[in-house]
Amino acid sequence: MRLLKYFLLFIICYAKLNAQDLHFSQYFNSPLLTNPANTGFEPDADYRVGINYRNQWAGVLNNPYKTMSAWGDVQLLNNRIDNGWLGVGLVLLKDAAGSGNLTSNKVYGSVAYHQLLGYKSLLSGGFGFGAVNKRIDITKLTFDDEWNGKFFDVTIPSNEPFNSTSVWYFDLEAGLNYALFPSDNVYLNAGFSVDHINTPKESFFSNNTADTKVAMRYNGFANASVKLNDQWIINPNVYFSLTSKSTELVGGMNAHYNLSGDGNLQVIGGLYYRTKDAVIPMVGVSVSSVTITVSYDATNSSLGTYSQTQGAYELSLVKNGVFSNFGKSVKCPVVKF
Least confident of 17-31, 105-119, 281-295, 317-331: 17-31
CB atoms within 10 A of CB 135: 17
What is the pLDDT, as a whole number, of residue 17? 41
Pick from 336, 317, 335: which is nearest to 50 by CA? 317
For domain 2-321, say whether CATH 2.40.160.40 is its number.
Answer: yes
d(CA 26, CA 190): 16
For residues 30 and 53, the answer to whether their CB atoms sit within 8 Å is: no
Which pLDDT score, from 0 to 100, does residue 255 have?
97
Long-range contact set of residues 290-298: C-beta below 8 Å, sequence gap at least 24: 290/317, 290/318, 290/319, 291/29, 291/316, 291/317, 291/318, 291/319, 292/316, 292/317, 293/26, 293/29, 293/268, 295/25, 295/26, 295/270, 297/25, 297/56
In this structure, the strands spanning 121-135 and 65-76 are unpaired
Residue 286 pLDDT: 96
224-270 pLDDT, tens per residue? 999 999 999 999 999 999 988 789 999 999 999 999 989 899 999 99
Least confident of 64-73, 87-96, 145-154: 145-154
Q: Determine contact, residues 134/146, Cβ cutoff 8 Å.
A: no
Residues 280-303: pLDDT tens digits? 999 999 999 999 999 999 988 655
